[in-house]
């Protein structure tokens, strides 16, 4: 198995965290960002989008990080990260798609300005709008986590992975955050997982 992507990419973190939860043996290859390589012919043959991550498992080549998490969970983690019951699995799927469709756009607006840009280059209005939109969306997860320990249900599973990668910066950066005790408790549970510490809790860059 091979996984292409740089360690500090949120989407790459999803796949590496999932793979490590399942104790899979894989080779990771640096590409993207400061490593370049996204427009190389060999890489484009694998992922014509020129984005990261990319996963190859035997003859199967995948792009889209959530698809990779679902595949790894289904093939190697049934009964652990992947529920055989369609209804329970749909709950996890729901949160995976929600994190991508609802959280990622305001997260990018907030994170890029807060972390990646120097203060003179920041769009403060976009950054603050992103933070407020994130807070409102995260309140939805907080309400759910008041009733169950994990987004996936009674136990940790694939549905927790996408949002788990996004909330790391939310909780660790020095920003104004409205109180969300259930989300914070869930984050505390994730922090106890060695794969989360190793793959997600790395320096924010």
Reported confidence tier of residue 205, pLDDT bands at 50, 70, 90: confident
Domain match, 99 and 171 both: yes
- Across 134-152, average pLDDT: 98
Bridge pairing between strands 27-29 and 60-63:
unpaired
Quickly list DSSP for 140-193.
Answer: HHHHHHTTSSBTTBSS--GGGHHHHHHHHHHHHSS------HHHHHHHHHHHT-
Domain match, 90 and 178 both: yes
User: Does some domain include residue 42?
Assistant: yes
**pTM given for the model:** 0.96
**Range(s) of the domain holding residue 49:** 2-76
User: Can you state the percent helix, strand and coil of the chain, rounding each to 5?
Assistant: 60, 10, 30
On the question of a cis peptide bond just before residue 117, with omega within 30 degrees of 0, the verdict is no
CATH of the domain at 136: 1.20.1050.10
pLDDT at 197: 98
User: Does some domain include residue 204?
Assistant: no
Domain count, the chain: 2
Residue 39 CA from chain centroid, whole number: 24
User: Does some domain include residue 192?
Assistant: yes
Share of the chain above pLDDT 90, in %: 99
Tens-digit pLDDT profile for residues 44-98: 999 999 999 999 999 999 999 999 999 999 999 999 999 999 999 999 999 999 9
């Amino acid at each position: 198995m091979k996984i292409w992507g740089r360690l500090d990419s949120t989407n790459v973190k999803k796949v590496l965290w999932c793979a490590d939860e399942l104790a899979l043996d894989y080779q990771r290859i640096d590409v993207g960002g400061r490593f370049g390589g996204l427009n190389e012919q060999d890489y484009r043959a694998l992922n014509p989008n020129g984005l990261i991550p990319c996963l190859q498992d035997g003859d199967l080549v995948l792009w889209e990080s959530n698809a990779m998490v679902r595949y790894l969970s289904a093939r190697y983690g049934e009964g652990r990260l992947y529920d055989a019951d369609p209804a329970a699995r749909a709950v996890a799927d729901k949160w995976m798609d929600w994190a991508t469709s609802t959280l990622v756009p305001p997260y990018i607006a907030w994170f890029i300005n807060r972390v990646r840009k120097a203060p003179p280059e920041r769009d403060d209005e976009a950054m603050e709008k992103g933070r407020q939109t994130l807070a409102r969306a995260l309140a939805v997860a907080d309400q759910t986590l008041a009733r169950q320990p994990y987004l996936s249900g009674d136990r940790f599973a694939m549905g927790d992975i996408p949002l788990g990668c996004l909330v790391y910066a939310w909780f660790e950066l020095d920003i104004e955050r409205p109180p969300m005790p259930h989300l914070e408790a869930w984050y505390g549970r994730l922090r106890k997982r060695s794969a989360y510490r190793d793959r997600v809790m790395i320096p924010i860059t």
